[in-house]
Structure formats: structure tokens, C-alpha cells
Amino acid sequence: MGMADDMRNLAQEIANSFQARVTRVEALRQETAAMLKRFQQEMKNMRQDLGRFLSNAEASRKGEFRALHRGIRARQEERKGEFRALHRGIRARQEERNRGVAGMLNGFRRERHTMASHWQNMAATMGKRRASATR
């Protein structure tokens, strides 16, 4: 029995070994498939979580932007009111200066007319004196 039995035993070991490898490979395949399925589910959950996070962050940023924009608008309106008040003050001071300058010019005009009148009277008086002195 010697060599034939050894060959049979060897063949049986090879067959058993092959079956063990097939069983092990099948177990690894199933384990890999399960791991891949878990990974895909985790990726799906992560995408959903990320989508919710980004959506919430976007809504939050939009709200903050709207609040900031309202604040800017309100400040602009305040500044418009301040500008209008400042403009009215400047305009009032300018009108007051204009009235003052117009008053000064009228005063100068009256003085010039008065001086011209005095000059004419003096010229007439001097003319009469010269005429009487030369006769």
C-alpha cells in the first residue's frame, strides 16, 4: 500500500486544501461585500449629513447677510438724515451770508451815492467860489 496510499492521501489533502481555500475565499468575498455595503451606507449617510449641514449653514449665512444688509440700510438712512440736516445748516448759513453781503453792498451803494452827492455839492460850491473869485 505504500506509494498508492501516499498519493491518495496527497490528492485528498490537495482537494481538502483546495476546498478550504475556496471556503476561505468565499468568506473573504462575503466579508468584503458586507464591508463595501457598510462603507456605501456610511458614505450615503455622510452625504446626507453634509447636505443638511450645508443647507443649514447656507440658511444661517443668508440670515446673517439679511441682518447685515438691514443694518447697512438703516445706517444709510440715518446718514441721509444727518446729511440732510447738515445740508440745511450749510444752506441756512450760506443764505445768511448772502443776506449779509447784500446788506453790505446796499450800504456801500448808499454811501457811494451820498459821497457822490457830497462831491457834486462840493464841486458846485467850489465852482461858484472860483467863478466869484475870478469876477
Does residue 53 sit within a domain?
no
CA-CA distance, 54 to 52, in Å (whole number)? Answer: 6
Whether residue 93 is contained in a domain is answered as yes
3-state class of 118 per DSSP?
Answer: helix
At position 99, the amino acid (one-letter code) is R
pLDDT value for 48: 96
Give the whole-angstrom CA distance, residue 83 versus residue 91.
12
Does some domain include residue 104? Answer: yes
Q: What is the dihedral of CA 90, 96, 99, 102, to 10 degrees?
A: -70
The total number of structural domains in the chain stands at 1
Model-wide pTM > 0.95: no
Find the domain containing 88 and state its range: 63-135
Structure confidence at residue 108 (pLDDT): 94
Nearest to 74 by CA among 63, 85, 84, 66: 66
Asked whether residue 27 is assigned to any structural domain, the reply reads no
Q: What φ, ψ does residue 87 adopt, rounded to 5°?
A: -60, -45
Q: Which DSSP category does 66 fall into?
A: H
Q: Is residue 31 part of a domain?
A: no
Classify residue 38: in a domain, yes or no.
no
From first to last of the 135 residues of the chain, give the pLDDT tens digit.
Answer: 688 888 888 888 888 888 888 899 999 999 999 999 999 999 999 999 999 999 999 999 999 999 999 999 999 988 988 888 889 999 999 999 999 999 999 999 999 999 999 999 999 998 888 888 776
